[in-house]
Structure formats: structure tokens, C-alpha cells
């Protein structure tokens, strides 16, 4: 049997596809793959005018990440990792968080685009054996009144390198002047079968490229809702 060029051309394309599909399949579950776990506690701060002014984040990391993060930072060798000794770590963490939107996405009503945030006012890292905790206060560029429309604060890493989960105990705190009729609560996860197709396609394609958004399906959300009068 003698091969002819057109015949080869078609089959080659088909099998290029097949080989590619096999490789994609082999690499698909890759994104479900966090390396760092963080337990989140968030505090929603209201100003005197009942507007949300800032969000205080407290993220406690797992033991493995902590061991890595504090390695070499006990500079005076007293066996204690003081706030001062951990300051360089806090600085690098918070500065590089800027590129990632602080993994904190504030949505007003149905707006898809998260509201702009200012650089953290204060930040520090504490170490309490065996885990470390990053604290920072994240001001909203413009204070936000939650009464006209509900406000949602999502905490997640789009690339899912870090798995954020709210603490079982005291996940959300409110401080300042919470407007009457408003409440701040953690969103309960609900099963939504319609999300399956999306999640599946994202699972396939999110591994490659810097714009991965695989982690969004694991978003943890704090809702600020107010009853209409």
C-alpha cells in the first residue's frame, strides 16, 4: 500500500488531536493542587458614617508553609520569632500580594469587577508554634455603603496555589458602626449542578497560563446584606 499525501494529511491532523487530547487528559487534574493552606478570619470595619472602610485579614498558615516561611529568620538566635524578626517576611508577603489583588475581592451588587483596594495600612506576621499568621488591614479606595446593594467579599487564590478556608470558629467579625438592618455573615456553600460544565472546562484549561481562575470555584464569601425598608 502506498501512502498518498492528502490521505496522510487528514489522518495526521486527526491524530495530532488525539495525541494532544491524551496529553491534556493526563495533565487535567493538575490545578486541584494547593501547596499552602490558610485559615481565614476577616473583620469588616465600618466607619462612623456606616460605610465599609476597610477589611482586616488574619490568615493562619499550615505547619509546612510556616516552617518554610520562618526558616532562617530567628536572627538573634534566641529561639523566638519576634514580630521584628518576621517583619521582612510580612513585607515580602504583602508586597507580592499586591499583584494578586490581596486575594480579596470586594463586589458591590452584581458588579463583576472587584472594587479597588489601597495598599495595606499595617501588616505583620506572628509565629505561634507550630503555625504563623499574617495580619493586614486593607482599606477600600472609597468607603462603601452596603445599604443600596449587597456587598460580597470573596477570599481566594485564582491559581489555587493557596487554599483559603474560613475558620470554623469566629470566621467573621464586625467592628465600627454597622448600619441598622444590616448583617454580615459567611455564605453557605450550595450545590449548583449548572456549575459542573464550567468547572470541568476550567479544570482542563486552567493549568496553563497566568490567567488561571481555577481557584474561584473555591471562593469563600462574606456577605453584607441589608433589609430594604
Partner 1 sequence: MLACFALVIGIACAAAQAAPPSAFGGAPSASPSTPGPSAAAPNPSPAFSAPQAAPLHAPGLVGAFFSWVVDTQQTMQRELAGGVKRLKTGNRFAAAVSLAGLSFIYGVVHALGPGHGKTVISSYVVANEETVRRGVMISFIAAAIQAMTAVAVISVFAIALNASGLTIKAWSLQLESASYALIALVGLWLLVGQLRGLWRRWRPAPALAAAGAGGPQIDFDDHDHEHGHAHAHAFAHGGHSHDHDHDDHDHHGHHHDPGEVCHHIVDAKAVSGPMSWRKIMAVVFSVGIRPCSGAILVLIFALTQGLFWAGVAATFAMAFGTALTVAALATLALGSRELALRLGGKSGAWADAVWTACAIGGATLILLFGATLFAASLGPARPF
Residues numbered 49 to 88 that lie near partner 1 (CB under 8 A) are: 60-65, 67-77, 79-81, 88
Q: Which of residues 138-177 bind partner 1 (CB under 8 A)?
A: 159, 161-171
Interface mask (CB under 8 A) for partner 1, residues 83-122, using x and -?
-----xx--xxxxxx-xx----------------------
- Regarding 184 and contact with partner 1 (CB under 8 A), the answer is no
Q: Which of residues 2-41 bind partner 1 (CB under 8 A)?
A: 2-4, 7-8, 11-16, 18-20, 22-23, 26-27, 29-30, 32-41
Please say whether the beta carbons of 169 and 41 come within 8 A.
no
5 by Cβ neighbours in 10 Å (0-12 / 13-18 / 19+) ranks as: exposed
- Binding-site size, partner 1 (CB under 8 A): 96
Strand order in the sheet with 52-61: 123-128, 131-144, 52-61, 36-46, 172-176
Nearest CA-CA partner of 128 in 86, 172, 93: 86
- Write down the residue that cell numbers 433589609 correspond to: 227
- Regarding 193 and contact with partner 1 (CB under 8 A), the answer is yes
Give the whole-angstrom CA distance, residue 176 versus residue 174: 7
> Least CB distance from residue 81 to partner 1, whole Å?
6
For partner 1, the closer of residues 41 and 107 by Cβ is 41
Amino acid at each position: 500500500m502506498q501512502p498518498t499525501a492528502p490521505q496522510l494529511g487528514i489522518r495526521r491532523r486527526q491524530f495530532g488531536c488525539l495525541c494532544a487530547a491524551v496529553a491534556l487528559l493526563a495533565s487535567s487534574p493538575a490545578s486541584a493542587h494547593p501547596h499552602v493552606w490558610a485559615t481565614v478570619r476577616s473583620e469588616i470595619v465600618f466607619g462612623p458614617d456606616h460605610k465599609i472602610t476597610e477589611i482586616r485579614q488574619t490568615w493562619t498558615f499550615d505547619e509546612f508553609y510556616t516552617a518554610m516561611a520562618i526558616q532562617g529568620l530567628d536572627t538573634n538566635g534566641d529561639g523566638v520569632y519576634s514580630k521584628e524578626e518576621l517583619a521582612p517576611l510580612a513585607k515580602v508577603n504583602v508586597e507580592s500580594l499586591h499583584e494578586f489583588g490581596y486575594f480579596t475581592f470586594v463586589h458591590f451588587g452584581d458588579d463583576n469587577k472587584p472594587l479597588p483596594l489601597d495598599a495595606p495600612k499595617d501588616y505583620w506576621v506572628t509565629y505561634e508554634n507550630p503555625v504563623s499568621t499574617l495580619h493586614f488591614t486593607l482599606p477600600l479606595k472609597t468607603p462603601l455603603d452596603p445599604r443600596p446593594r449587597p456587598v460580597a467579599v470573596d477570599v481566594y487564590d485564582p491559581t489555587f496555589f493557596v487554599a483559603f478556608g474560613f475558620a470554623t470558629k469566629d470566621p467573621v467579625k464586625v467592628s465600627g458602626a454597622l448600619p441598622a438592618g444590616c448583617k454580615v455573615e459567611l455564605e453557605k456553600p450550595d450545590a449548583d449542578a449548572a456549575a459542573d460544565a464550567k468547572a470541568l472546562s476550567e479544570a482542563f484549561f486552567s493549568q496553563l497560563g497566568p490567567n488561571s481562575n481555577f481557584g474561584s470555584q473555591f471562593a469563600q464569601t462574606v456577605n453584607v446584606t441589608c433589609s430594604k425598608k
